[in-house]
Structure formats: structure tokens, C-alpha cells
Chain A
């Protein structure tokens, strides 16, 4: 019994000794302190945490290779600026300056490595001018201005299919888009919009396979398909208007614009047109406003989203809609 109690006593005091000797080291490590052998003092250090995607990168600190690989933390670094280089075979290296502060973590944890030879795949060898991918991500449409042709393929650039020939008189095409129903395409230049049907037999309403809409007085800036695949939303240098994609259709001016060259974005899903226009108030201050024009079949409204003044900010009334 005595021997057991003696052994236990030794174990107890040994445990107490380990605790009181070990604790300062553990706490100083946790707080970022490092014992400086030269000055015989504890110096507060910082650390750099490195995390990369993918992991396993070699880590260089001030040009010196460390034994760690990402993800890793470089502990006990004296405060200062460090040049960090991360290298991973087959990927472009990452370089950066990292500031280390005493008792703090500097994180380099948003590094993404990009491959030296990216996964680049040539799908085909064609002479098209531009291409579109349909919203369902199934078809690629190609427009060849030189041959005046529109054709399509699947996403792997196989199964090519000629769709339509473009009208000869369209010497220049400023923009084009296939309708949501994927049965027609519009092309436009400054003074003319043309809607070309892939297969006119499918719709008896259309007398011709090509519809021309002329804009002799205005300059067409941009054109969008309405979600019904029948109306076109047209942005000219003077108006925002809608027009049916049929022969002899007359445009409806929805908004009169104050300035030329308005920027526009059309949300096909919600049938909303976002466009910019300028405005001058009674005191002569100019504003550049962003508008949202809702064109869905059950909702038709214009709303001003922001007003960016050129001068001082003034409360403005809602822009009048023009029918």
C-alpha cells in the first residue's frame, strides 16, 4: 500500500510539474509568442494561413521553400511583409505580398489555381461571324455574314443544319437573336429590322418567310424578343417601342427618350426592359436615370430605379409614360 501511495505521490507531483511547465509554452504558442534565442525574450509573432484550390501547393516564403503544403499555417512569423509564392504542378503559380501582424492571422485562403493548359477544346472549324446559344442550352446558332446564312448545331458542334439564308440587301448586320420558340430570327441594322422564319409552313399567319420593318426616320439601337416570340421590343435613338413581327406592322412608341445611345438590358423571363435615359429638371440640372419598363402581358408599367444626378440630388417625379 505504501509503495502504491509513494508511486501515486510521485505521479501527482509529476503531473503538477508538467502542467505548470507545459502551460506557459502552450499558452504562448496559442497567443503567437516565440522565444527568441538571441535576445532570450518572448517575441509576439503572427501567422499566415494558406488554403488553395486544389490543395497540395508548395509554399515559398520570401523565396524560401517551406516544408508545408497547402492548406497549412506558417506559424511564429515575425511581424512584417512576406513574399508568398504558391506553386502547384500544371497550374499557374500564385504570388503575393502578405502583411503579418503580431498575434494575428493573415489569411491567404481564396487562392484558386488555374491550369497552365486549360481544358480548351476546339469544337469545329467554321467561318461564322457570330454565334448564340439558346436559353435551354441545347443548340448553337451560327451567323455567317459573308455567306448570308444561319445554321445550327448541337453543343458538341455536331449535327449541323442549315436554317435560313439571310436577305441579300442586308449588307451589314448590327445584331440578331433567335426567338424563344426557336422558330425565327431577327436581324437588324440602323434602319431596318428583318424577321426570318425557319419554316414558314408551320404558321399560316405569315405570308412570307421574311418580314422587313423599316425605320427611315430613326436609328435602331437594339432589338429584343418579347417572351411571346411575336413582338419585338425596339430601342431606337428616339423611342422605346414594340412592334409585331409581321409585314406592315406599325410600331407603338412606349417611351420617348431624351438622349441617344441609351444602354438597355431585356429580361426575357420577366419581360422587363431596363434602360437608361437623361432628364433635366426645372432648374436645369441634368440627371441620368435608370428605368424599368415592364412588358409582361398582365403588367405594363414604368418605374424609375435610380436617379444619378450630374449636379445636386433633387427629388423627381415619375417619368410620364407615352402610349
Chain B
């Protein structure tokens, strides 16, 4: 094993090792020194309450921005921009990497795209199929026929299986498609600077104003090519049909993304996103051997531009499918696997730190800061629910007779309970906001479901336990043990699969 490989392994071990160390040491401490354990737990509880209040405030702010900006006529604003900014020459390339999704998923995405409040002749649609998918050519033909003439161009690409150095990932498919687009643009003599590329999950239904908003921000931003553009993902496509469990998880995911959009210094691309095609070519496209291509593409840009690369939040929504299945157990499994795939973003840590070690231009402060943010976010994800729910009561159970007679043993459950009452306020805020981002109730769905959508929040503690830390611990442990994950498309769809 050479030095680089050893370093990579060490970096892969760090997040999981840290998470497990925290969990195990707190459990041991609960037995050996319950007073110290109780002090740590109370401190963590208090930290968590403050953090929740802080993040909920950010969520309210992000929600206010979303409410205001999503209804703007962005196209009109683009048309009013000075001509030298080049709106008339701007092209939108939209890539939909398709794994094994069928027409019931793809058709609504293209319908939504065709309803965009944006000049369609400027949209280049790319349906990126996998060659190994036997249905791919048939699907491509059907969609080309159905949507012919609705966009400036409609390309279907077929990513060959087994290219050397590639894994079976979405990024490999998207990269293949982007290379085909490059050839297409070269043929049409369209400059890469004039092209914005969006890579969407197959189930992404864009808001009508999305491309207007994207174009406006792209054209008016400083160093427009040194930025990715991130819409707010909401899971509205099938939210009225999805079971409570899955719905709550996805609403929480949307909220987390909205909160992240307020923390620009930590903001990283996630899921469907857009960027300059010129930059995409310069940084050699999406990674072809990593699952978390959506976030790694940001880090590639960050390293390429020596830290002068950012993510600009777009307060318009892209709507995706809630991942669920035919019964609650299978839904839990689907959700767990999806969250584990998201948590696999921990593979960014060795990638980024390796990049930082090689890069001599980025300041040490920024390197440390970004590395810490990345590590802290993944470790916190893995341990917080375990500390709050599992380790929290341990000193009481295992502290012994002496500890049970101490003031801190008596006060621990009281203080924890009191602190968590504060989170009721934040929960009420989340409930209210979740209600406001719901799409209109479809015909045939009872008004009673509105009430149910509020009451279902009482399940949150159980969901936290299952979907909170477990997938992150799982992903980090796999990375720690070099049991690398393979890409698996999440079961999605408007119909129950």
C-alpha cells in the first residue's frame, strides 16, 4: 500500500472512528463515572436545544425568502437585464440521468419542464439512459416522440457499461451525457460560457419559474462560473399519497436543505442542481466512481478555483417523489437505504482533505474550517440521536445506588424533560411550515388528511431513532471498514412500487 492509499484509508476511518469513539466512550462513562456522563448529556441536550432554536429561526427566514421569491416573474426580470449580460444567448442544458425509472416517473418530469416559463428553444433536453437498461432505447423513442418539438433540442444518450475507472453511479451516466452535450454544442458552435447545465434526478419536476430564476442569478452573479446553483428540493410529487413515515422524513429533508441554504459558508450542492457548463468541462465533469456526485461536483469546483467557489441558493422549488413502498416495513427499508446513500456523502471527507493536501493555494484556515464543517456535520448526524435517545437515560439505569442518590441523578431527567419542552415551540413551527409548503389537496383525498398531516408529527421521535443516526452510522462504518457502497436507485414513483 503506497502513501496515498494509506492516507486515504486513514481519512476514511476518521469519521466513523470518531462517531464510534464518542458513542462507546459515553456508554462506558455511564457505567464508570455516571456523574461525568450526566454532565456531558445535559451539556449536549442544552447545545441541541440552542442549535434547534437557531436552525428553526434560519428555517423561518429561508421559508420567508422562498415564499417571496418563488412567485416572482423571473423571466420578466431576465428580459429586463442589460443586453450585455447575455440573456438572449443563454442556453439551458437539462440532463436527466435515468437508471431504471419508467415512463410513470419520467413523463411528469418532462411535462413539468415543458410547462416552464422560459423560452423552450433555449432548452436542450438530455435524457441520459444506461445502455445496460434493456428498456432504455424503447423509453428514449417513446419520449422523443411524445416531446418532439417542445424543446430546442432533445438528445438521448446511452451510457455504456464497464468503462475503465468507472463505477455504476449516477455521476458516470451524467458525465457521459455531458460529454455528448459538449460534442453537440461544439457542432452548433455554442460557447460553453453561454450554457448552464442542470443535472436533475429522474423524478425532478421543476417549478415554472426555475429557469428564469436560475438565469437571473447566473447572469447577475459575480464570478458566475465559479458557483453552483441550488434550488430548494421539496417532495411534493406524491406527498398526499405517501405514508406518514416517509412523508415526515422527506419534509424534514426539505427543511434541512432550506436551513443549509442560509448557511452559505457550509452550503454544498445536493440532489438536483445547476452550474456553468464551462466550469463543468474545466473540472472534468461529475465524478464517475463516487456515489455522492451531487456534492463532490461542488468540491471539485472548490478545489479547482482554490476555494473561490460557492453555492448560490435559488428560492424556487424542484419537486421530487417521496420514496416509499407498499407497506410500512418496506417503506422504512427504502427510506433507510436512501438516507444511507445520502450519508455516504461522508466519502467527501477523504476526497476533500486529500484535495486540500495537494492544493497549496487555499489558506490553511479555510482548509481547516471546511474540513471541520464537513467532519462535524457527518459525525453529528451519526451520534446526535443516539446520545439524546439511547445514551441519555443510561446513567439513570446503570449509575448504581450511590449515583441515584445524587442531585444530578435526580435533576438529569427533569432538566432534560424541561429542555425538550422548549423544542415543542420549534416543532409547532415545523408543523406550520410543513403545512404551507404542501401542494393543493388532490381530488379524492379527504380534508381529514390535513388534520392527519399535523397529528403525524407525534411520530417524529420514533422516526428520529430509525432514520436519524442509524443510516449515518451504517455509512460511516462501511467507509471505515472499506466496504464501499454501490449506487442503488431509490424506489420512487407516483404509484406505490
Query: Which residues of A does B touch, CB under 8 Å?
Result: 4-5, 7-8, 11-12, 15, 18-19, 22-23, 26-27, 29-32, 45-47, 49, 73, 103-105, 107
Contacts and interface: CB of A to CB of B under 8 A. Distances in A.
A181 to B, nearest CB: 51
Interface string B62-97: 000100000000000000000000000000000000
A254 to B, nearest CB: 48
B411 interface: yes
A103 B404 CA distance: 11
Given A8-B61, A26-B42, 5 more contacts: A15-B53, A22-B46, A30-B408, A105-B406, A105-B407
A32 B262 contact: no
A4 B415 CA distance: 33
Q: Which 9 A-B pairs have the closest CB atoms?
A: A32-B407, A15-B54, A30-B411, A105-B410, A19-B50, A30-B408, A15-B50, A103-B407, A31-B408
Contacts of B410: 47, 49, 73, 105
Contact of B42 (A7, A27, A45, A105): A27
Contacts of B54: 11-12, 15
A49 B46 CA distance: 24
Given A8-B263, A105-B406, A30 B65 contact: no
B425 interface: no
Given A104-B406, A105-B405, A29 B415 contact: yes
15 contacts: A7-B61, A8-B61, A23-B46, A26-B415, A29-B415, A30-B39, A30-B407, A31-B408, A32-B406, A47-B407, A47-B410, A103-B406, A104-B406, A105-B405, A105-B407
A146 to B, nearest CB: 58
Interface residues of B, number: 26
Given A4-B61, A18-B50, A31 B263 contact: no
A4, A32, A103, most chain B CB atoms within 10 A: A4
Nearest to B416: A30
Nearest to A102: B407
B132 interface: no
Contact of A8 (B47, B262, B412): B262
B58 A26 contact: no
Given A8-B58, A19-B46, A47-B410, A104 B405 contact: yes
Nearest to B51: A15
Contact of A19 (B47, B61, B65, B264): B47
Contacts of A103: 406-408
A271 B51 CA distance: 70
B38 interface: yes
Contact of A29 (B47, B65, B411): B411
A150 to B, nearest CB: 55
B409, B410, B412, most chain A CB atoms within 10 A: B410
Interface of B: 38-39, 42-43, 46-47, 50-51, 53-54, 57-58, 61, 65, 262-264, 405-412, 415
Nearest to B54: A15
Nearest to B415: A30
B43 A27 contact: yes
Contacts of A30: 38-39, 42, 407-408, 411-412, 415
Nearest to B263: A8
Contacts of B412: 30
A26 B65 CA distance: 36
Nearest to A25: B46
Contact of B65 (A4, A12, A73, A105): A4
Nearest to B404: A105
A18 B408 CA distance: 22
Nearest to B61: A4
Nearest to B65: A4
Given A4-B61, A8-B58, A15-B54, A104 B407 contact: yes
Contacts of A8: 58, 61, 262-263
Contacts of A22: 46, 50
A199 to B, nearest CB: 61
A63 to B, nearest CB: 24
B359 to A, nearest CB: 26
A225 B200 CA distance: 91
Given A7-B61, A11-B54, A15-B53, A31 B46 contact: no
B46 A11 contact: no
B46 A26 contact: yes
B233 to A, nearest CB: 20
Nearest to B313: A1
A23 B262 contact: no
B361 to A, nearest CB: 25
A45 B407 CA distance: 9
A104 B411 CA distance: 11
Contacts of B405: 104-105, 107
Nearest to A18: B50
Contacts of B57: 11
Contacts of A49: 410
A89 B53 CA distance: 45
A150 B42 CA distance: 70
Given A8-B58, A11-B57, A105 B409 contact: yes
A107 B409 CA distance: 13
B407 A46 contact: yes
Contacts of A45: 407
A56 B408 CA distance: 25
A261 B61 CA distance: 90
A31 B409 CA distance: 9
Contacts of A5: 264
Contacts of A105: 405-407, 409-410
Nearest to A106: B405
Contacts of A26: 42, 46, 415
Nearest to A19: B50
Contacts of A73: 410
Contacts of B406: 32, 103-105
A33 to B, nearest CB: 9
Contacts of B38: 30
Nearest to A1: B264
A26 B40 CA distance: 12
A5 B262 CA distance: 7
A47 B408 CA distance: 10
B58 A11 contact: yes
B53, B61, B411, B415, most chain A CB atoms within 10 A: B411
Contacts of A32: 406-408, 411
A132 B44 CA distance: 64
Contacts of B263: 8
Nearest to A33: B407
A76 B262 CA distance: 42
A4 to B, nearest CB: 6
A31 B35 CA distance: 9
A19 B405 CA distance: 28
Contacts of A47: 407, 410
A107 B404 CA distance: 11
